[in-house]
Amino acid sequence: MLPRILITPGEPAGIGPDLTCLLAQSAPVPAQLVAVCDAALLRARADQLGVTLALRDFDPSAPRQATPAGSIEVLPVPLRAAAQAGRLNPANAAYVLETLDRAVDLCLCGDADALVTGPVQKSVINESDVAAAGRFSGHTEYLAERCGTGAPVMMLVAPTTPPLRVALATTHLPLRAVADAITAPRLDTVLRTLVADLRRRFGIEAPRVLVCGLNPHAGESGHLGREEIDVIAPVLDRLRGEGLRLTGPLPADTLFTPALLGEADAVLAMYHDQGLPVLKHAGFGQAVNVTLGLPIVRTSVDHGTALDLAGSGRADPGSLRAALALAADLAHGR
């Protein structure tokens, strides 16, 4: 079946609307593309960019048809306030979350096959009135809560040969909170989710995972920290006993070398800036963020809102195009 893929452009003042307009120009994959956003926002941004874009109303009951180049269907969600490229407005935080809610609901009920998300501005959401409902730490955690799952795993994929896949044991935490967050139950859950979705989503029958240590030199036998000895190694030993193919804990400064990566299907880094700088160096602008552990397919761009580029015509849709292509593959079970 032709995949129906939803796109949420994210922060309306950022480059998400630009990328959505530019992506629609080429119709890069055979799929029905539906933007979940304010149609007037896309129209205004297309005009600002000098892009011709045909907007069509989305009808979930209509037969699926591949979206032709130069057009996109729209599931309308109204802005709360006028949006201006490059200027954040906390009044639109609720709009951003509503686009995610509407898209997730369509995926959960089977009316859509995948969700591709543009970048959001976490700070402006947390500074808005919607923050009273709880701190917004990112797409990954928000979508997991919306889907009713408690163990999402953030993984980025770079288009190297072989593909570099880096998952995270912790996501958007202050560095001083990372060590306390790496507990045996959390690590056990993250590794099980990672391995399960490498099998289920990526078709890798027996995934091989390299696991980073937390400390320099993976703790150097306890002289530079005991997390490897007390937490990480015991979890790996137990899971290896169940048949999971896990190597580590390894020093992160030597793990990301061709010899080791060539024998692995994924890497588990302990925290955000341990693994993602390497991945983004390898494929920034073409890498894709994938949320594992969800009942839906969700991919995203590998970058932020780039407010300085919004409306300028200089934004590169490469990562959004890659996210769309991977979402189509995962929706097809490829």
Q: Which single residue is written with the structure tokens 């769309």?
A: 324
The β-bridge relationship of strands 114-117 and 54-57 is unpaired
Q: How many CB atoms lie within 10 A of CB 262?
A: 9
User: Binding site annotation covers 192?
Assistant: no
User: Binding site annotation covers 281?
Assistant: no
User: Binding site annotation covers 117?
Assistant: no
Closest among 317, 307, 320, 316 to 85, alpha carbons compared: 307
User: Binding site annotation covers 332?
Assistant: no
User: Binding site annotation covers 140?
Assistant: yes
Determine whether 304 is exposed, middle or buried from the number of CB atoms within 10 Å of its CB (0-12, 13-18, 19+): middle
Residues paired with residue 56 on neighbouring β-strands, in sequence order: 73
Alpha-carbon span 146 to 199, nearest angstrom? 24
User: Binding site annotation covers 272?
Assistant: yes
Q: How many CB atoms lie within 10 A of CB 223?
A: 10
Distances (CA, A) of 89 to 79, 92, 95: 11, 6, 11
Distances (CA, A) of 193 to 67, 98, 188, 230, 293: 33, 27, 9, 22, 6
Print burial letters for 43-55: b (CB count within 10 Å at least 16), e (below 16): ebbbebbebebeb
Question: Max CA-CA distance within the chain?
Answer: 64
User: Binding site annotation covers 217?
Assistant: yes
User: Binding site annotation covers 122?
Assistant: no
Token pair listed for 221:
């036998």
∠ CA(321), CA(327), CA(332), 5° rounding? 130
Q: Which residues are annotated as a binding site for a divalent metal cation?
A: 172, 217, 272
Q: Which residues are annotated as a binding site for substrate?
A: 139-140, 280, 289, 298
Q: Which residues are annotated as a binding site?
A: 139-140, 172, 217, 272, 280, 289, 298
